[in-house]
Amino acid sequence: MRLLTDLHEIDGTLTRRAASRIPPGAAKALSVVEESAESTKLWWGAAAVMAWKGGWRGRRAAAAGLGALMVAQLVSNGLCKQLVDRPRPPVEWIPHDEVADRPDSSSFPSGHTAAAVAFTAAVVPTWPVAGALCAVPAGMVAVERVQSGAHYPSDVAAGAAIGLAGAWLVRRVPALFLRHWVQRF
Query: What string of DSSP letters covers 118-140?
Result: HHHHHHTTT-HHHHHHHHHHHHH
Query: Which residue in 124, 109, 125, 126 sits closest to 161, CA to CA?
Result: 109
What pLDDT score does 184 carry? 61
Q: What number of other Cβ atoms are within 10 A of residue 177's Cβ?
A: 10
Higher-pLDDT residue of 79, 34: 79
What is the arithmetic mean of pLDDT over 45-73? 95
What pLDDT score does 119 carry? 97
Angle at 70 between CA 177 and CA 19, to 5 degrees: 135
176 pLDDT higher than 70: no
185 pLDDT higher than 60: no
pTM score over 0.85: yes
Residue 75 Cα distances to 78, 139, 182, angstroms: 6, 20, 29
Per-residue model confidence as pLDDT tens digits over 138-149? 999 999 999 888
Domain ranges of the chain: 2-183
What pLDDT score does 110 carry? 95
Give CA torsion, residues 75, 77, 79, 84, to 10 deg. Answer: 120
Judged on CB neighbours under 10 Å (0-12, 13-18, 19+), 112 is buried
What pLDDT score does 17 carry? 87
What pLDDT score does 91 carry? 82
Per-residue model confidence as pLDDT tens digits over 20-43? 888 888 888 888 888 888 888 999
CATH architecture under which domain 2-183 falls: Up-down Bundle (1.20)
95 pLDDT higher than 80: no
DSSP H helices, 22-105, are: 24-37, 41-53, 55-73, 81-83
What pLDDT score does 33 carry? 84
- Residue 76: which residues within 8 A CB-CB, separation 6 or more? 109, 110, 111, 114, 115, 159, 162
Contact, 68 vs 118, CB < 8 A? Answer: yes
Per-residue model confidence as pLDDT tens digits over 2-22? 887 888 899 888 888 888 888
